[in-house]
Amino acid sequence: MSERTLPKDGPGSLGPQPSRRLAGLPGYGRGRAGQATPFAHRLGSNEAPEGPSAAVQAAAAAAIAAAHRYPDLRGERLADALAKRHGVPAQCVAVSAGSIVMLDQLIRAYCDPGDIVAAPWRSYEAYPIIVGGAGARLMEVPLDARHRLDADAMLKACASSPRAVLLCNPNNPTGTALAPDELDALIGALPGEALVILDEAYADYAADAVTVTASAARRLAQHPNLAVLRTFSKAWGLAGMRVGYCLAAPQIIAAVNAVAPPFPLPAPALAVALAVLDEEDAVAARVACCVDQRVRLTEGLGAMGLPVARSAANFVWLAVGDEAEALARHLHGFGIAVRCFSGEGVRITTGTAADTAAVLAATADWKSGAGRP
């Protein structure tokens, strides 16, 4: 029998090679606000400006005291509470460690290699990573001139028979949203064979957030091909705990659970999500503050002549095109972390009143020419 040979180091090594589909994947940036960075104003990742309440922290501590036990197999208690909140049966909810993970489960459950996933573009930068990582192909459907999801273009894209259609409403990074009736019309016109994924990470910031929360039940009843994604990372202020969920027909929930390992969420994450659901009024008050700052930012930046998109989320989009890098660098120089999309624009999260004042002052400085070559 032949002798076993050890693989040699370096190029040409016979060691395990990752799938070729990893080669083309874009990276995911940190929004220049890692724990160790010195930014005084962390406005790069659409996080809530306030930390969790004492009651939410106590819920996490209690869960840690019982950390020798496994958590719920599928986060059942949280899923039940969410089902009640949205007025859907418990079989219509699945939870995950962040809604990005749920998107990954949906794509892996529904797409085979080479399948097309249509999505608006520019949109959330995690989409190409997740779609490409599953071996599917992202079809980018350009936004309209007002940076909004273009429903007609999305319907035309369906001529290529996508396996899934992603809708991000409000859209990240532009903040623009389709009105509920426009969204209903689009979902109704999409082909029934396509899985329609509606990413509502920012739906809690809508003027009619209560209606939007209730809309999931109505839409699920009308569209068995719809999966709605929600997260605790933004308005609910728990980005660090990684909790997201999906609302969909029971057969879709069964499919996403089929590709998830058991115990998807650690006990403290389940506990804090349950606890924060009891603080709905406080969350609504924080959302109102956030919307207030969004109005101040939109008006202030607009008054400087900057192209501000009309946002329905906790951030604003400045479509400054080729000046994006220079503006982002200028803001960074003032201790303000923002997210830069080179050649396209700059996304600025709404924070506290002090954050807003800092952004307006630094941007006015840039407009006055101080930051330009």
Ligand X SMILES: *Cc1c(COP(=O)(O)O)cnc(C)c1O
By the criterion CB under 6 A, which residues form the site for ligand X?
46, 98-100, 124, 168, 172, 199, 201, 231, 233-234, 239, 244
Instruction: Give yes or no for a contact between 63 and 271, defined as CB atoms under 8 angstroms apart.
Output: yes
We find the least distance from the C-beta atom of residue 107 to ligand X, in angstroms, to be 13
Q: Which is nearer to ligand X, 172 or 311 (CB)?
A: 172
Paired residues of 41 in beta bridges: 336
Maximum separation of any 2 CA atoms in the chain, in Å: 80
Given the structure tokens 């693989």, which residue do they identify? 7
Q: Closest distance between ligand X and the C-beta of residue 15, in Å? A: 32
Nearer to ligand X, 244 or 371 (CB): 244
Residue type, 27: G
CB of 74 to ligand X, least distance (A): 17
Distance CA 149, CA 216 (A): 19
Residue 100 Cβ vs ligand X, minimum distance, rounded to whole Å: 4
Residue closer to ligand X, measured from CB, 201 or 249: 201
Residue 97 in contact with residue 260, Cβ under 8 Å?
no
Nearer to ligand X, 330 or 339 (CB): 339
Q: How far is the CB of 18 from ligand X (least distance, A)?
A: 23
- Pair type for strands 195-199 and 315-318: unpaired
- Which is nearest to 162 in space by CA: 174, 153, 171? 153
The strands making up 345-349's β-sheet, listed across from edge to edge, are: 315-318, 345-349, 339-341
Q: Which is nearer to ligand X, 246 or 362 (CB)?
A: 246
Sheet with 244-248, edge to edge strand ranges: 93-96, 244-248, 226-231, 195-199, 164-168, 116-121, 137-142
Token look-up 């989009």 returns 317
In the complex, least distance from residue 98 CB atom to ligand X, rounded to whole angstroms: 3
C-beta of 137 vs 339, nearer to ligand X: 339
Residues 6+ apart with CB under 8 A from 153: 141, 142, 144
Write b or e for each residue in 102-133: b if 16 or more Cβ atoms lie within 10 A of its Cβ, otherwise e. bbbbbbbbbbeeebbbbbbbbbbebbbbbbbe
CB 125, CB 275: distance < 8 Å? no
In the bound state, the residue with its beta carbon closest to ligand X is 98
Q: How many of the other CB atoms lie within 10 Å of CB of 184? A: 16
Nearer to ligand X, 219 or 347 (CB): 347
Q: How far is the CB of 87 from ligand X (least distance, A)?
A: 22
Smallest distance from the beta carbon of 67 to ligand X, in angstroms?
23
Q: Minimum CB separation from ligand X for residue 242, in Å?
A: 6
Tell me whether residue 137 or residue 234 sits nearer to ligand X (CB atom): 234
**Complex with ligand X: residue 270 or 362, whichever CB lies closer:** 270
